[in-house]
């Protein structure tokens, strides 16, 4: 059931004035999980992330640290690349806005908007928040006592000649497009979750002013950022330039900036989904669609703004210094839990670290996808890890693998004994459609929960059919046949569950497939090598990719060893 329409998903491009933290990793993991589901569903997928480099605060931090802006951007962009590698994020492109391919194309869009008079020169007076690099309306500035709503620092009253984008002209069209999005009509875009859409609609009702899209070149200009086409006295405001990255990455067929290896990416526009947190929804749900309208380009399908991660119940902030940094996530990945250490000793092998998948699991299943904030707390991390992974899929796969090894010498048994459709098989029926439905709503939680539900169904089935009791009478042909089919059903259902758990746990599921000699990947050693077939075929019970009687299964070491909340990863 391969879907013809390509799927493209983007994350915000992150500021390079600082190192990555859990927030950046969270959004990017969400997009990665969506991209992996899309690939699993057989869609031609494009996943874009990157860094936003031309902000004034990058210049400021660079100077403070004794670097040029480019050097500082290089250092931090590399940190993001490294962090995303650590998180097992498999993006298709990492766009840096200081790259020529971006600058050239972004400039051409601004020029087109100037030519169509959607961008014009005017006077601007207003309240500027230097820490966020944005102007605030008089109402918002007053509400916060003329201090930044984010950092609490004083706002600056700025007055300057500025270029403006004629946002006001698009008010009605934006309304209409959001309406169409709700109805699922062509030409519309959906703002999700609903609470966020309502906020946008509420703000739209207050009317739209034109927005400044440039900043004057100052005397101490660091030559950083794109100049307004035809006017060397102004630079394109960083936000406007940054939004353009979604297009510059796919508009790659025009010289001189085409990268040969990329191939023609025009099929990846419009983006299926732009994901971000609620802090930057307005730019994505209003300003960007209006810019696209002005450029005559199709609108994205979904603008999804999730809520925030907080740390141990407290909002993360620079002043509190409680950001969960990438190092902390890395410490979890490198954590060798006590149980694993003991087991490894017993088996005379090296103990294995936990790996990044449990961190991905926590972020993806406990994160703020939806309208409510979510907490990252150590105790909860261990609780979720034990319940879902060690006692969940890990234990279930071990149980099944162990029994097949013990009773059938590690060979997948024959299922011919049962005539009726078993419970696990019933549960597997129609799951591809369920996943598709959840995926269309960007309900990645549901897609993953279907895998969890399957694992639970297998556990329930084992408790009900008691294969360990059947094994006591294995010499009786009828009982042996029953045991065979029970274990076949368990193994086949675990295999199907593992497909649905793969987008969140790509490394661990690839490990399971290697043990079970049933990898659906082109290269079993590379979790990013793509699937041999779409989910509808891979997940077909008894189909081409199913477990075959007689096939070897190695039980392997347990996928996830239980952890204790009293233990903490070293270095934390």
Site of interaction with ligand MSP (CB under 6 A): 12-15, 23-24, 26-27, 52, 242-243, 276-277, 279-280, 308-309, 316
> Where do the H-state alpha helices sit in 87-212?
100-115, 138-143, 171-183, 194-205
Bridge partners for 15 per DSSP:
52
CB 162 within 8 A of CB 122: yes
* Angle of CA points 339, 345, 350, to nearest 5°: 95
Bridge partners for 411 per DSSP:
552
| Closer by beta carbon to ligand MSP, 26 or else 47 | 26
| Closer by beta carbon to ligand MSP, 21 or else 234 | 21
| Closer by beta carbon to ligand MSP, 16 or else 174 | 16
| Closer by beta carbon to ligand MSP, 307 or else 487 | 307
Q: Which burial class, exposed, middle or buried, applies to 223 when counting CB atoms under 10 A from its CB (0-12, 13-18, 19+)?
A: exposed
| Closer by beta carbon to ligand MSP, 16 or else 412 | 16
CB 549 within 8 A of CB 415: yes
CB 45 within 8 A of CB 39: yes
Cα–Cα distances in Å, from 523 out to 406, 512, 532?
A: 29, 14, 9
| Closer by beta carbon to ligand MSP, 291 or else 400 | 291
Shortest distance, position 235 Cβ to ligand MSP, whole Å: 16
Helix, strand, coil in percent for the chain, rounding step 5:
50, 15, 35
CB 403 within 8 A of CB 473: no
Shortest distance, position 38 Cβ to ligand MSP, whole Å: 19
Shortest distance, position 285 Cβ to ligand MSP, whole Å: 12
Shortest distance, position 306 Cβ to ligand MSP, whole Å: 7
Shortest distance, position 162 Cβ to ligand MSP, whole Å: 20
Shortest distance, position 27 Cβ to ligand MSP, whole Å: 3
What is the DSSP track for 59-107?
HHHHHHTT--HHHHHHHHHHHHHHHHHHTT---SEEEETTSHHHHHHHH
Shortest distance, position 178 Cβ to ligand MSP, whole Å: 19
Which residue's Cβ has the minimum distance to ligand MSP? 23
Q: How far apart are CA 539 and CA 432, in angstroms?
A: 7
| Closer by beta carbon to ligand MSP, 242 or else 428 | 242
Shortest distance, position 190 Cβ to ligand MSP, whole Å: 18
> Where do the H-state alpha helices sit in 147-252?
171-183, 194-205, 238-243, 245-248
CB 177 within 8 A of CB 299: yes
Nearest residue to 126 via CA among 55, 15, 209, 242: 209
| Closer by beta carbon to ligand MSP, 246 or else 385 | 246
| Closer by beta carbon to ligand MSP, 29 or else 491 | 29
Shortest distance, position 323 Cβ to ligand MSP, whole Å: 8
Q: Measured on CA atoms in the order 112, 230, 127, 304, is the torsion positive or negative?
A: positive
């Amino acid at each position: 059931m391969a879907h013809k329409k390509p799927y493209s998903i983007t994350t915000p491009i992150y500021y390079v004035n600082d190192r990555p933290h859990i927030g950046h990793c969270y959004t990017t993991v969400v997009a990665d999980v969506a991209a992996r589901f899309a690939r699993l569903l057989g869609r031609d997928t494009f996943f874009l992330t990157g860094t936003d480099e031309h902000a004034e605060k990058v210049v400021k931090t660079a100077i403070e640290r004794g670097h040029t802006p480019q050097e500082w951007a290089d250092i931090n962009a590399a940190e993001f690349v490294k962090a995303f590698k650590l998180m097992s994020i498999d993006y298709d492109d990492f766009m840096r806005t200081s790259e020529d391919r971006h600058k050239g194309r972004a400039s051409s869009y601004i020029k087109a908007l100037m030519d169509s008079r959607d961008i014009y020169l005017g006077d601007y007076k207003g309240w500027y928040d230097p820490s966020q690099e944005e102007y605030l309306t008089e109402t918002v500035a007053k509400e916060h006592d003329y201090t930044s709503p984010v950092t609490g620092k004083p706002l600056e009253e700025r007055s300057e000649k500025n270029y403006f984008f004629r946002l006001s002209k698009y008010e009605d069209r934006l309304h209409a497009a959001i309406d169409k999005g709700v109805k699922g009509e062509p030409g519309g875009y959906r703002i999700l979750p609903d609470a966020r859409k309502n906020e946008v609609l509420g703000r739209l009702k207050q009317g739209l002013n034109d927005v400044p899209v440039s900043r004057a070149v100052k005397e101490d200009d660091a030559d950083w950022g794109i100049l307004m086409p035809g006017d060397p006295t102004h630079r394109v405001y960083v936000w406007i330039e940054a939004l353009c990255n979604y297009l510059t990455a796919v508009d790659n067929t025009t010289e001189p900036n085409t990268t040969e290896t990329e191939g023609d990416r025009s099929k990846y526009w419009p983006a299926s989904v732009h994901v971000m947190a609620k802090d930057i929804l307005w730019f994505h749900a209003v300003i960007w669609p209006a810019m696209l309208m002005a450029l005559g380009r199709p609108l994205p399908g979904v603008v999804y703004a999730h809520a925030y991660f907080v740390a141990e119940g407290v909002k993360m902030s620079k002043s509190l210094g409680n950001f969960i940094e990438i190092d902390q996530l890395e410490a979890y990945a490198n954590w060798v839990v006590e149980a694993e250490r003991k087991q490894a000793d017993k088996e005379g092998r090296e103990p294995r670290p936990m790996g990044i998948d449990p961190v991905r699991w926590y972020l993806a299943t406990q994160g703020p996808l939806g309208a409510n904030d979510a907490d990252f707390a150590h105790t909860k991390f261990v609780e979720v890890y034990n319940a879902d992974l060690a006692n969940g899929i890990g234990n279930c796969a071990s149980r099944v693998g162990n029994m097949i090894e013990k009773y059938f010498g590690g060979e997948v048994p024959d299922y011919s004994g049962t005539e009726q459709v078993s419970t696990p098989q019933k549960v597997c029926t129609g799951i591809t459609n369920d996943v598709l439905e959840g995926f269309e709503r960007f309900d990645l939680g549901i897609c993953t929960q279907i895998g969890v539900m399957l694992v639970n169904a297998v556990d329930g089935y084992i408790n009900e059919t008691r294969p360990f009791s059947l094994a006591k009478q294995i010499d009786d042909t009828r009982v042996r046949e029953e045991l065979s089919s029970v274990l076949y059903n368990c193994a086949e259902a675990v295999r199907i569950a593992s497909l649905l758990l793969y987008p969140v746990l790509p490394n661990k599921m690839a490990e399971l497939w290697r043990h079970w000699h049933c990898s659906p990947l082109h290269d079993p050693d590379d979790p990013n090598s793509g699937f041999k077939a779409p989910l509808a075929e891979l997940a077909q019970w008894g189909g081409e990719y199913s477990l075959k009687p007689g096939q070897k299964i190695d039980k392997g070491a347990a996928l996830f060893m239980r952890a204790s909340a009293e233990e903490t990863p070293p270095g934390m």
